[in-house]
Structure 1
């Protein structure tokens, strides 16, 4: 059926089957205790030529392109969800893990690969560089919705979102040293700092421009705003890469800036990005699963070598990197154990493993197969036990509650009105107050209150309770004032009263 050419109708049918299997597998992943991304890869492997034989796929260049495109979307969605208040205290340890930590991990694994895989030193260091980084897609997927302490989860998310430049630099640098004997290591090091700097600068500028554009333009449909925001992510990556900077870092910085700003149709942008990120995650891991041939992967020679390298990576290289790169950064022993265990490998190492294949480096197929096996082991063992380990180490934070209700809104077109949602915490100044006593900005009204999954019709004498979820209609001009009122805490009011007295 797909031997020579994948016709349009057959391609659409296949895509539908793959997406349905991918979505359904997320339902079983929680019950089986297996991260969904592992099931996505298994779907690809099963559909491939070695098992069902439905699709024959060995195009490493296409897999690399899809993988990088998917990573842009995943990093964008992850950055949108990152709160600056949680990120700011962990910037230094995250950057230390993303740079020094990756170097230590890569170097330790390189020594193991040299003797276990019998590679040359340059090829062994290349292997270490490929598996040295923590994967953003895997970390975001495993930690999403889990009630792990913000400081720890944010450290991992920031590390995985910012360590791709180091992994890409090391991989490309080693490939150049292998293929171009006259390559200058010092110029390569200089280019790394230029790439990082360009990524930060372009990402910051693009983020500010995106906020201004989103809040200034009046589009006929609210559904266009998420696409507009996503277009900025793709533009940021493309422009930064064109300037020889780190496009992935730029996208992550852009997303953090947008996610922590006041933007119109915020809820729509977040939900669309989340859905699209899931689509790209399914597509990416299915394609990566198609790219591997189980008959070559699960041989005794590959299996025992990969398991040994995985053990060294998980139990030696990553812990050493965490403990050395977080010295004097106020992390407890339990927190360092968790950071060591949660250094998941995922799509980035597999995508990077296609680089040596495209450069026709000797032993590149062996490197790819072992990297894929290592990723499977990491996802199956570490990914499936992250939550349980957090509980045993007592690193759980407050339960993250996502409202199960939804409010579908019609597009407001070019009006200057917007509906915002806000959850009332126990320390809010509004708790216990009647609606008529709350000094809302002019024109701001409460449309509906969700209280313990029940809809409450707001009246003047309705009292606000802790845990209430409010949907409010306000003008775009008064939105900052409304937000300030909603976020006001009791202790802040008490301090103001003491100052005035």
Structure 2
């Protein structure tokens, strides 16, 4: 059988099933990423002659496929956020992408060096690639489409964190690359200054400026210009996908962070004509593309698990991975949010759902494609193990936890209404 025909058939069937699987699993405790991960495991366990899916041997392909998936997801994430940007509104996610991310990177890097014996550059890379909360696989704990009114603190915080830290973690991936290059060439001077000025300052500013400029320009073309001139209206959802690619490409051309630019462009566009139905149309189109790419990546990831991705995993690496998911991320996140106004149960939920996924694969593949890391095989195995556990752990618990929080909010609202009614009755008497 022609392997190409088999591949497109499998992709077609998997993508077609996405029309029903999410709805079918909506009332269950299992998330659909788990299903497609298992499909990948099963398919690659059969003698079908499919191409080898292990990213250890296809790092260039892994970079571009995961890159495309993440930027499309960032556009979808930005389009569905309805809160205007301010310190008061965005305090929790900003704390998560600063305090939590830095503590997570530092803690994981330290244990990677001290516990696993990784080289310093590889240890920093491990911390950097595991720091971002994934925007691709976190749908169950994120806010809904733009036409849904409900946007509680938990969903908003996890959605905004996923959008922000896919770009803000990039400087630390470059830090690991710079450390590896300096160690390999024996140059101990100048690299840190270059990293601060170029990778930490310039690229972030460039991403912010490009994202805001492109987002504002497109919002003007789409919403304002047709009202005052004869400029034609557009209501095509693919504009969101086009905007994603243009924003990312132009920003990368000037060596800025395209991830940041795409998310900022989406936020900027969504802030204009907030109630307009076109925001929902754009979001729905780009979400459909995102889901197709996610299905492909999950199947490939499932296949890689049974074809060698975990071959270099040691018990120490597995223990560190579990420690990251159950201790390091929850603890560092709780440190960041414990003084905020939301309830303790909401703080615990925000801290626990630091979902790892496709973004981590991108950063790791990107870094290893830039410079050779002596511990690359072990890094792939550790990252693969963490993402696998995260998909299962968070996929099984997300629906139940969010339903529990929603139920408690409804009870609290009913109780507040009852108390207000009793107070009014008491005053009337």
Structure 1 residues 255, 136: closer, same or farther in 2, change over 3 A? Answer: same
CA distance in 2, matches of 1:99, 1:347: 21
CA distance in 2, matches of 1:147, 1:345: 27
Listed as ranges, the matches of 1:128-207 within 5 Å are 128-143=127-142, 145=144, 150-181=152-183, 182=187, 184-191=191-198, 192-207=200-215
CA distance in 1, matches of 2:391, 2:277: 37
CA distance in 1, matches of 2:315, 2:26: 28
Q: State the partner residue of 1:278.
A: 291
Kindly state the Cα deviation for residue 278 of structure 1 after the two structures are TM-superposed. 1.9
CA distance in 2, matches of 1:99, 1:314: 18
Q: State the partner residue of 1:380.
A: 392
Structure 1 residues 166, 330: closer, same or farther in 2, change over 3 A? Answer: same
Residue 324 of structure 1: which of 319, 329, 335 is its match? 335
2:35 equivalent to 1:39: yes
Structure 1 residues 267, 149: closer, same or farther in 2, change over 3 A? Answer: closer
| Higher mean displacement: 174-183 or 214-223 | 214-223
Aligned residues of 2:29 and 2:399 also touching (Cα < 8 A): no
Q: State the partner residue of 1:48.
A: 44
Q: State the partner residue of 1:15.
A: 11
Kindly state the Cα deviation for residue 131 of structure 1 after the two structures are TM-superposed. 0.7
Listed as ranges, the matches of 1:74-473 within 5 Å are 74-85=73-84, 89-143=88-142, 145=144, 150-181=152-183, 182=187, 184-191=191-198, 192-215=200-223, 216=225, 225-262=236-273, 265-290=278-303, 292-297=304-309, 302=313, 304-326=315-337, 328-358=339-369, 359-392=371-404, 397=409
Kindly state the Cα deviation for residue 306 of structure 1 after the two structures are TM-superposed. 4.5
CA distance in 2, matches of 1:398, 1:147: 15
Aligned residues of 1:25 and 1:40 also touching (Cα < 8 A): no
SS of the residue 1:244 aligns to = coil
Kindly state the Cα deviation for residue 236 of structure 1 after the two structures are TM-superposed. 0.9
Aligned residues of 1:44 and 1:289 also touching (Cα < 8 A): yes
Aligned residues of 1:86 and 1:150 also touching (Cα < 8 A): no
Higher helix share: 2
Q: TM-score, normalised by structure 2?
A: 0.80
| Higher mean displacement: 38-47 or 340-349 | 38-47
Unaligned segments of structure 2, at least 5 residues: 412-429
Structure 1 residues 138, 107: closer, same or farther in 2, change over 3 A? Answer: same
CA distance in 2, matches of 1:222, 1:149: 28
Aligned residues of 1:357 and 1:365 also touching (Cα < 8 A): no
Greater Rg over alpha carbons, structure = 1
Aligned residues of 1:77 and 1:273 also touching (Cα < 8 A): yes
Q: Deviations over 1:244-296 (max 9, x none)?
A: 21211111111112223226744432332232222232233334444x24253
Question: Does 1 or 2 have the higher relative contact order (CA < 8 Å, sep 6+)?
Answer: 2
Structure 1 residues 331, 221: closer, same or farther in 2, change over 3 A? Answer: closer
SS of the residue 1:55 aligns to = coil
Structure 1 residues 25, 392: closer, same or farther in 2, change over 3 A? Answer: closer
CA distance in 1, matches of 2:177, 2:45: 30
Unaligned segments of structure 1, at least 5 residues: 400-501
Q: Deviations over 1:201-260 (max 9, x none)?
A: 21111111111111336798966x222343122111111111221211111111112223
| Higher mean displacement: 142-151 or 162-171 | 142-151
CA distance in 2, matches of 1:395, 1:198: 43
Aligned residues of 1:35 and 1:384 also touching (Cα < 8 A): yes
Q: TM-score, normalised by structure 1?
A: 0.70
Q: Deviations over 1:328-349 (max 9, x none)?
A: 4434433321111111111111
CA distance in 2, matches of 1:116, 1:52: 40
Aligned residues of 1:81 and 1:259 also touching (Cα < 8 A): yes
Aligned residues of 1:97 and 1:322 also touching (Cα < 8 A): yes
Aligned residues of 1:72 and 1:248 also touching (Cα < 8 A): yes
CA distance in 2, matches of 1:118, 1:36: 36
CA distance in 2, matches of 1:355, 1:151: 33
Kindly state the Cα deviation for residue 27 of structure 1 after the two structures are TM-superposed. 5.0
Aligned residues of 1:29 and 1:36 also touching (Cα < 8 A): yes
